[in-house]
Amino acid sequence: MSRWLALAPLLVLLALGGLFGLYALNRNPQVQPQALVGKAAPAFSLSSLDDGAPTPIVETPGKGPVLVNFFASWCAPCEIEHPVLMSLKRRGVAITGVAYKDAPANTQAFLARLGDPFARRLIDRDGAAGIDFGVTGVPETYLIGADGIVIAKHTGPLSAAAAQSLLSRTAAD
The CATH code belonging to domain 45-172 is 3.40.30.10
3-state helix, strand, coil in the chain (%, to 5): 40, 20, 40
pLDDT tens digit sequence for 19-40? 766 666 655 444 445 668 889 9
Whether 121 shows a pLDDT value over 60: the answer reads yes
Q: How many CB atoms lie within 10 A of CB 167?
A: 17
Residue 106 has what pLDDT?
96
Residue 1 has what pLDDT?
60
For the ranges 45-49, 64-68, 97-101, 112-116, the lowest mean pLDDT is seen at: 64-68
CB 86 within 8 A of CB 115: yes
Classify residue 152 by burial, with Cβ atoms within 10 Å: 0-12, 13-18, 19+. buried
What percent of the chain has a predicted confidence (pLDDT) above 90? 53
pLDDT tens digit sequence for 31-64? 445 668 889 988 889 999 999 999 988 875 556 7
Q: pTM of the predicted model, to two decimals?
A: 0.78
Residue 13 has what pLDDT?
80
